[in-house]
Each structure stands twice: as structure tokens, then as C-alpha cells.
Chains A and B, each alone.
Chain A
């Protein structure tokens, strides 16, 4: 048994090195396929990050009437937290804090500051900023509850309806980008898988007669099939080594440019943090594809 294994490995290595052209071609198409699958993972990570960023920026602000006591607002805050488990955070912003934030945000904008001076008093209302962990539908639901509940009397207005369309649009765009990106990448990966299969078929086609001869001399099916399958695994393993190196270099070099587009998203760190996951996916994908293609093609010739 062990002798047979050794012989199968020896045959595979010999065939691999004696058919350099076709071996290089097979490894190359596997590299392209693995990289496509890898880019699919990176793409997903980037869109998830983007959605998270957008979700972080969305909130509902409930403005309270000017005459409402701070104590009542804080009571309302505690009650609001109980409305739904999807409510992540409720932040109280007093009249003074609102004024401070406004002046800070517009400290270089004379028009706004002069306008505020002319008003003479603090025109801002105390408010609660509510953030949820979910989609816009949840915001809508919370906004409805706030306006209809016991707080309706002390709440001046809830500003969600003004932001609603923009939020829904952004979510619809990101979701569409995500879905079409996934679909496109999947189509590309399927095409690449077919190309890998064809290339390996081409590599084994040259050995069709040889397989017939092996059968005639009494070789068992596994003794014939083994070297081709090991060769497929070698193609996949080499492609994996190249891909993990490419992924490392690529994420390292595009990191800065990507951070300019997606601030806070460090693709290099993301790759390093998930290194073993990427390595495993690339290895399984490469070796699995090489082995299964060889298996299917040789099986066809063994049945002839």
C-alpha cells in the first residue's frame, strides 16, 4: 500500500516536471480562479464595512419641547431603551450641549455664527439621539412609537421622516452594489472554474492513449487515476502559494489608496487578521478544484 502511494507520487512528480508547459498553464488558470474567489471575499468585507459605517451614521433625533424638564427627558430615555431590543444607544443632548456642538461645527462659518448672535438666545431644543442596530424599517417603527406613545406630548418632533428617503436610498444602493457585485463575482468564478476544468482536461487529453495502455497492462483504476489526482493537487498547492503571496503584496500596496476611498477600512490588517481563513479558503479551493477536475476527466477516460 505504502509502496503504491510512493509510486503514485513519483509518477505525478515526473509527469508534472516532464509537461512543464501544460503544468504552468494549469497552475496559472488556477491562480486566476483562486484570486477571483479571494477578491470576492475582499469585496464582501469592504461592502460590509461600508454598510456598517452608514448604519453608524444613521440616527433618529427626538426633539423635546423647550419647557420639558431634564429629569423627564432622562426618564423618557430609560423608557425608550425598553421599547425594542434593536435600540443600541440613546444619547441625551441638552440645550447647552446642542449650542456647543453647533458652534464647534461652524466655528469657521461667520454667517451661521452671526445669525446665532442675532437670535440672541439659545434656539436649540434638548434632544435624544437614538441609534438602532437594524435597517431603516426599524427606524420607521421606532419613530412611529415615539410619536404615538405617552412621550407624544413632550416630544416636539422626530426628525426621522426628513432623513427617511436618503437613508432608504443609501441602503438600497449598498444592497444593490453588494448583490450585483456578488452575482458578477460568482459568474466570473464559475467561468474560471470551467476554464480550469478545460485546461486540466487538455493536460490529461494527451494521456488518453496512455491511460488505455495502463489498463491493458493490468493497472488498477486507482493506480492509473492516482498520479493525475496528485498532479491536480500539486497544481492547486502551487497556485495557493502564489495566491497567498499575491494577496499579501496586493493588500499591502493598495491599502493606502483604498483607505482614501473607504476611511477606516484597512484591507491589509483585515487580511492579516484573517490570514488563516484566507489561507484555508485558497488552499481548499485550489487543491479541491485541481483534484476534482482531474478525478472527473480521468474517470471519463477510464470508462472508455
Chain B
């Protein structure tokens, strides 16, 4: 489903973020990509979403070279990927309902479908009674759950969670990780980028370890070892 082929990213001559990174992720896998802060995890996400160009190498999503396709094709790929960020990246001017509805509107879904689907998703993640609230009126845990709801509502084939538990207390961390596991059990591919040792070790799934921009370990049922 996803293939990184000898990807190198250099911002400035002295600032090497990724060096010859290669790995493949199959459909339905749950992969944790771990590493210290600044190891290059977020850059991997940005490259996969086509928000940045690799200095060299290629990234493929469902066979398409992300950086060789046109903008419209790239936008279609982005709609197949649900992303959850540590800082949530919600739309502050829109209500809880509108934040989730927006991604469906982007896809051109009918109003009828949006009206029936959004409340269902918000009910699943426990925000049904906050439909008209704005993100700033929610707690950190609620905002993260909203971000997950937004990532899920279009039934994407891939969920990328970039440090989704970084700002959460242990209870909310457990909630979000459980949610990601459920999504994976439903057949979706999940990529979890984290530096949370406890979360990774509990999962017991595939772990790719990145250090100083290089893949130093790639293990099935791996552990967080740096």
C-alpha cells in the first residue's frame, strides 16, 4: 500500500532529516514509527501527504508516485488518508459538527449523507452532546477525539496518527490508542508515529525505529528500543 524507496530529505546543506529511508507497509497493517523528537517522523507524514518534496527517492501510495502525480490526483489521495495530529489541527472557526462535516463536504458528499453520518461518528467518540461547540470549548482529550472522528468519517483506507497522545493524560491516551486498535481491527491500515515507549510496547505490533533520519530497526511485534 505504501512504499518509501531510498527517500532522502535535506532542508539545508547541513540539515539532513531523512537519509535513504526505505520500507513498505501493507494494507491492514498497524505500524508504529518510533524515534526521538526531531528524528524525522513528522517529515515522513508530510512527504506521504505530498506537502513536501523529497530531495531524492520516491514515495508510493497504492502504486502512485506521490510526487509525480498532478494536484487533483494528490488531493484525491489526501482524501483517502485520515490524519490525526498532536496539536489536533482542527478548524477553530467551525463547530464540532462542522469540523467533521467539512471533510465530507470536501469529498462532495450529499447533505443528506452528511446529516446522517456526522452525528453517528460523533456519538461513537462521545461528542454527540457538543455538536455546536467550537474546538476551543473542548478539553484536550475531546479535541483529540474530534480529530480522530474527522480522520475517520470518510472511511479512509489509511489512518496516520502523528503523536496523537502527546498532549493527553494516561486515561485519554488509553482511549485514543484503543480507538486506533479498533480502527485497525476493522481492516484499516494505521501508522502511529510516537515517542511514547509504553504505548508502543503494549501494542505488540510492527515497529520501525528511526534515529537521526535513518531506519535503524524494523521488527514485527517490535518494542521501543532507542
Contacts and interface: CB of A to CB of B under 8 A. Distances in A.
Interface of A: 3-4, 7, 14-15, 18-19, 207, 209-210, 212-221, 223
Contact of A223 (B49, B81, B92, B106): B106
Interface in B170-205: none
A209 B111 contact: no
Contacts of B98: 14
Given A209-B89, A216-B51, A218-B75, A7 B105 contact: yes
A217 B71 contact: no
Given A215-B51, A216-B49, A218-B79, A210 B108 contact: no
24 contacts: A3-B108, A3-B111, A7-B105, A14-B94, A19-B93, A209-B89, A210-B92, A210-B93, A212-B89, A214-B91, A216-B51, A216-B78, A216-B83, A216-B89, A217-B79, A217-B83, A218-B75, A218-B77, A218-B103, A219-B75, A219-B106, A220-B72, A220-B75, A220-B106
Contacts of A217: 78-79, 83, 102-103, 106, 150
A182 to B, nearest CB: 42
Given A218-B76, A218-B78, A220-B75, A213 B90 contact: yes
A18 B132 CA distance: 13
Contacts of B79: 217-218
B27 interface: no
A104 to B, nearest CB: 76
B107 interface: yes
A70 B78 CA distance: 96
Interface in B104-146: 105-108, 110-111
Interface residues of B, number: 27
Nearest to A1: B108
A213 B143 CA distance: 15
Contacts of B93: 14-15, 18-19, 207, 210
B71 A221 contact: yes
A195 to B, nearest CB: 24
Contacts of B71: 221
B106 A218 contact: yes
A7 B71 CA distance: 22
A281 to B, nearest CB: 33
A179 B203 CA distance: 78
| Residue of A7, A217, A223 with highest tally of chain B CB at under 10 A | A217
A19 B71 CA distance: 31
Given A217-B79, A218-B76, A218-B79, 7 more contacts: A209-B89, A210-B93, A213-B91, A214-B102, A215-B78, A216-B83, A219-B75
B80 to A, nearest CB: 8
A107 B78 CA distance: 93
A45 B113 CA distance: 58
A218 B107 contact: yes
Contacts of B78: 215-218
B57 to A, nearest CB: 22
A19 B49 CA distance: 30
A224 to B, nearest CB: 9
A301 to B, nearest CB: 13
B127 to A, nearest CB: 18
Contacts of B81: 218
Interface centre among B102, B105, B108, by most chain A C-beta atoms within 10 angstroms, is B105
A7 B94 CA distance: 13
B64 to A, nearest CB: 14
B106 A213 contact: no
Contacts of A221: 71
A218 B49 CA distance: 9
Nearest to A221: B71
Interface in B53-99: 71-72, 75-79, 81, 83, 89-94, 98
A223 B76 CA distance: 13
A209 B111 CA distance: 26
A19 B92 CA distance: 11
A224 B110 CA distance: 18
A169 B93 CA distance: 62
B100 to A, nearest CB: 11
A9 to B, nearest CB: 12
Nearest to A15: B93
Contacts of A210: 91-93
Nearest to A6: B111
A213 B110 CA distance: 22
Contacts of B75: 218-220
Contacts of B106: 214, 217-220, 223
